Amino acid sequence: MAITKIFTESVLAKYARSIKATPRDLIVNRTLLFSCAVYALAGLPTTWDQGSSSVVPSLPGFQKQFDIESGAKADDIQNFISIIYIGYAIGAALSFFINDRIGRRWSFRLYTAIWIIGQVIASVAPGWSALYAARIISGIGIGSLSVTGPMSIVELAPSEIRGLLTAWYTVVMGIALFTSIFSVYGIFLHMSSSKLQYQIVWFSPAIFMAFAIVASFFVSESPRWLMLVGKREDAVAALVDLRRLPADHPRLQKEIKDIEDSVTGIVSSFAGIVKETFTVPSNLRRLQQALLSYALAQLSGANSVTSYFIPIMSIMGIGGGTSESMFLSGMYGFSKFIFSLIASFFFIDALGRRRSLFIGITLQLISHLYIGVFIKYHQEGPVSSSASRAAIAAVFFHAFGYAVGLFVLPYIFGGELWPNRLRSFGGAVSQTFHWLFIYAVKYSIPSLLKTTNNWGAFLFFAGWCFLALIYVFFMVPEISGLSVEEIDYLFKGSWFNAYKRAQRHPVIDSVEDGKEELSEEPGNLELLDNIFWCIIDDTKFLQDGAIKAVALAGSWKLSNLCVIYDSMYDSMSDSTSRRNNAPILIIIQSPNSSRSRCLRSRPNKAPLNLLPEVYNVFQDISKKGNLYDAEWVMRVKRYWEL
């Protein structure tokens, strides 16, 4: 019984029940899934280049055309690998001036076309100068797509599966990574030495993305962007199509109102947007989280391992010949794809952002420590075959940790943290920093390996993983399951309070769930009929959880709403000091709270920001407030006497 309960009450099981309880048409409909799938293709160019650039220099045709000796020497491929990130940064910065002007669909088409042009130029480049220019052009397209892709998915997806759908972007990145490497591997094995070897690698994905441009004419435009530019009717129509709910449905009405509220009074000037981003404390906190998430992802060493996989295998004495090194590189890319699938379906939304980061970063830390120690001993003399196999396993173990944590989540954070009016600018700033930082890191990797005698580089990465754990604990709040508009509440107050806000009870979606939740409490309190229950951790989350609860209670025409707080009184909030002459919410507390404050705390309408038609459902029982209160006073008194 105890073992069964562990599984049935696990975070994953609760997430599965939550998805099951969500209306099927809300999360399984053609418009939503197809649109998100097309926007997710924006991730393909990024890792196609990352994967192919790590192994293309090993092709005889490339070596002959561009006069290099080997693809296994980090110094020889340093500029080729890193220069594209200059274009990434330029594209990400320019995207701000384009995204909100032409919309998400046309932005996707434009950036994809720029990338295709760069690929074509690279395929016919006669020498290094033309190749570098082509890679910068391709980088401009990739950098812009890295902003538009995740942002578009976030703006389309319902909160229940927003993390899952945004992770499709990284799933596509995983597919492109291993496909590009195995394409080069197959070409190496089966094609004679010629320019066509590397040309196929570069123009074949361009053909595929040309079809993606065609597919984009059948996807939905972002309702939030439509509302942003004043096209309310189009925005409502898009939401109806994406949610498969009628326009007068309470959930849809709430989402429309949230979007309208978030774009009300929007500052359209560039100076105003910059000022709001850098002077409003909650926005500045968003910026630091987006930037540090991307920075820590690179300082964890994962992308460096991918880009310099063959040289690193050579350092570890594992790679062998070119064919074996390419195969291992392809398997590494394939493993990252599988791991990103696991992260998408079983970690990000199911376990939450914080837990996923803790698990992933810890695995990376352990892997780096082992690899660093292994290389140190390998340099001093022969090592056992089992130690070598364990080193290979550690590399793949590291890939799993990266996929669960710092690979997927920075893209989700970069897309979902920002309010609508700042999302384009915030995404552009964070991605520009991201790509410039990657350029600096990847360009410096050969020097880092030399300076630290190879093994020290992995201890350097491990140290940053440890710092990342501390950062996540104190500064990364849990945003899983919250709407884009509700996230704003979490970024108010101290920057170092994330660990205090990490554990929240889920909203209870029915009376039966409420009974089950209370069944473990002392005394097994009797429930009143026709009451909607929800559990919220403390007053800081009154707005986050209670809005959802009241909206559902209103749509179900329930006669009352009861919210149980684990810690009602909170000195950081003024919610408990407000009064409502005819209280609608009735609140009790757990034994951990002060008994003297238990029955004095009263709810209020002000912070709920409810739709009038929802709140009015409760007006006919406003005179019964004292009666319900008296009944609960009796029950709470019995509760304390147990």
Q: What is the per-residue pLDDT for 593?
A: 34
CA–CA separation, 252 vs 267, rounded Å? 26
C-alpha separations of 466 from 283, 363, 407, 477 in Å: 26, 11, 16, 18
3-state secondary structure 218-257: HCCCCHHHHHHCCCHHHHHHHHHHHHCCCCCCHHHHHHHH
Q: What is the per-residue pLDDT for 487?
A: 65
- Sequence-distant (6+) residues with CB within 8 A of 563 are 533, 534, 535, 536, 545, 546, 549, 585, 586, 587, 603
**DSSP class of 496:** T
**DSSP class of 403:** I
Look at residue 539 and tell me if it is in a domain: yes
The residue out of 475, 490, 523 marking a domain boundary is 475
Look at residue 487 and tell me if it is in a domain: no
Residue 514, amino acid: G
Look at residue 496 and tell me if it is in a domain: no
CA–CA separation, 66 vs 128, rounded Å? 7
Q: Do 526 and 403 belong to one domain?
A: no
Look at residue 501 and tell me if it is in a domain: no
Domain residues for 248? 2-475
Residues found in the chain: 642
Look at residue 506 and tell me if it is in a domain: no
Tally of domains within the chain = 2
Closest-CA residue to 188 (of 302, 288, 28, 52): 52
CA–CA separation, 22 vs 611, rounded Å? 21
Are 213 and 192 a contacting pair, CB within 8 Å?
no
Look at residue 163 and tell me if it is in a domain: yes
Q: Quickly list H helices, 583-624.
A: 595-598, 612-615
The residue out of 426, 459, 475 marking a domain boundary is 475
∠ CA 379-445-185, nearest 5°, is 85
Residue 141, amino acid: G
Q: Do 520 and 464 belong to one domain?
A: no
Q: Do 560 and 613 belong to one domain?
A: yes
CA–CA separation, 510 vs 532, rounded Å? 6
Closest-CA residue to 170 (of 57, 81, 285, 303): 303
3 state DSSP class of 537: strand
Distance from chain centroid for Cα 614: 32
CA–CA separation, 252 vs 636, rounded Å? 37
Q: Do 522 and 463 belong to one domain?
A: no
Look at residue 491 and tell me if it is in a domain: no
Q: What is the per-residue pLDDT for 14?
A: 58
Partner residues linked to 564 by β-bridges: 535, 588
* The pair of three-digit structure tokens given for residue 79, joined into one six-digit string: 């500029």
The residue out of 456, 475, 494 marking a domain boundary is 475
Question: Strand 560-567 vs strand 585-589: parallel, antiparallel, or unpaired?
Answer: parallel
Look at residue 484 and tell me if it is in a domain: no
Q: Quickly list DSSP for 77-100.
A: HHHHHHTHHHHHHHHHHHHHHHHH
Give the up-direction half-sphere exposure of residue 439: CA atoms within 13 A in the CB hemisphere.
Answer: 19
Q: What is the per-residue pLDDT for 319?
A: 62
Q: Do 436 and 524 belong to one domain?
A: no
Closest-CA residue to 58 (of 400, 421, 325, 424): 325
Q: What is the CA radius of gyration of the chain?
A: 27
The structure tokens 């003297």 sit at: 596
CA–CA separation, 413 vs 482, rounded Å? 13
- Sequence-distant (6+) residues with CB within 8 A of 385 are none
Are 312 and 145 a contacting pair, CB within 8 Å?
no
Q: Do 525 and 447 belong to one domain?
A: no
CA–CA separation, 36 vs 44, rounded Å? 14
Q: What's the CATH number where 117 sits?
A: 1.20.1250.20
Are 274 and 428 a contacting pair, CB within 8 Å?
no
Q: Do 282 and 375 belong to one domain?
A: yes
C-alpha separations of 635 from 569, 576, 602 in Å: 20, 21, 17
pTM for this model (two decimals): 0.65
Q: Do 402 and 526 belong to one domain?
A: no
> For 505-526, b where at least 16 C-beta lie within 10 A, e where not — what string?
ebbbbebebbeebbeeeeeebe
Q: Do 232 and 302 belong to one domain?
A: yes
Q: Do 55 and 11 belong to one domain?
A: yes
Question: What residues of the chain score a pLDDT lower than 70?
Answer: 1-22, 70-76, 264-269, 319-320, 344-345, 348-350, 408-409, 411-416, 420, 479-642
Q: Do 438 and 574 belong to one domain?
A: no
Give the up-direction half-sphere exposure of residue 397: CA atoms within 13 A in the CB hemisphere.
Answer: 16
Q: What is the per-residue pLDDT for 121?
A: 94
Q: Do 416 and 538 belong to one domain?
A: no
Partner residues linked to 567 by β-bridges: 538
